[in-house]
Chain A
């Protein structure tokens, strides 16, 4: 199996994993409470990531030592400090898990994932159109609007 088909297989698996993880989190949330499950999930994830770094990602060891990627080194001064707000992603994770935990038992997986996808697409299109966070600007095209319309229509069928 070559690298490309392995990458495609991994992408498919990653998709299955998203659904499985969301459902597991929601089931855990129903048993022990949504905030508690959010805590447990993040703790388990942190431990697991810690072991993965220890075992397989030797290059990334060292909590404070930075390993700037080639992309970043090309764009920015390497001595530039990592902005603290970038570490705030975990707080957003709590919001996501709370939202998912509340909606999955009520709406079911397909509908929740569908709406998640819709929100995701709208954000992506908006982020590209306005160039959020200093990202390059990609204006809204008719093709993209068509895509959003298709997604909305699909959601109505699932509803």
Chain B
């Protein structure tokens, strides 16, 4: 059963970079912030359409959800703006490595302390080694020549 979720996460990862390339190309045409806007509009429309034709996975109108849970989308938009600021100043590679390492580090904190509605998964020494290797791997892939002509976000 866990293998299924591993596969799902892998699919998510590849789709993510696919989307980044598409978004960045759109950004070249209509501007990067508007590209992010259109991306979210199309996303909301297609999800809304799926909901309308009856593909329900839960209940949209449950009460008492912490307000912060709704901020995920806004945080994503802010991230795009930050990347757009960072890329011309420090370059793709440096930015990607910083993003990757801090993404993993904060994931560790979230898992360890069970923040934001997570169940706690304690940090171990072995996990630390794993994360170090992940960052080193990303460093090797991203530091020889340019990897992609477009931004990652």
A residues near B (Cβ < 8 Å) are 3-4, 6-8, 10-46, 48-50, 52-53, 57, 59-60, 63, 66-69, 71-72, 82, 85-100, 102-125, 127-128, 132-133, 135-136, 138, 141, 143-144, 146-159
Contact = CB atoms under 8 A, between A and B. Distances in A.
Contacts of A122: 14
A49 B37 contact: yes
Contacts, number: 436
B75 A49 contact: no
A22 B116 CA distance: 10
Contacts of B135: 154
Contacts of A88: 22, 42
Contacts of A43: 40, 44, 48, 73
Given A12-B99, A89-B23, 17 more contacts: A11-B95, A15-B101, A20-B116, A21-B72, A24-B75, A27-B118, A34-B58, A41-B73, A52-B33, A87-B26, A89-B38, A91-B46, A99-B15, A109-B107, A116-B9, A120-B14, A147-B142
A3 B110 CA distance: 30
B79 A100 contact: no
B46 A90 contact: yes
B140 A143 contact: yes
The 10 lowest CB-CB distance pairs between A and B, nearest first, are A33-B58, A119-B13, A90-B42, A147-B140, A157-B130, A154-B133, A15-B102, A99-B12, A151-B137, A45-B73
Tell me whether chain A's interface is mostly helix, strand or loop, or mixed.
helix
Contact of A45 (B74, B83, B95): B74
A28 B58 CA distance: 11
A73 to B, nearest CB: 9
B16 A96 contact: yes
Nearest to B31: A60
Given A17-B75, A27-B69, A45-B74, A151 B138 contact: yes
A113 B85 contact: no
A97 B13 CA distance: 10
Contacts of A39: 44, 47-48, 51, 60
A135 B74 contact: no
A28 B82 CA distance: 24
A82 to B, nearest CB: 4
A71 to B, nearest CB: 6
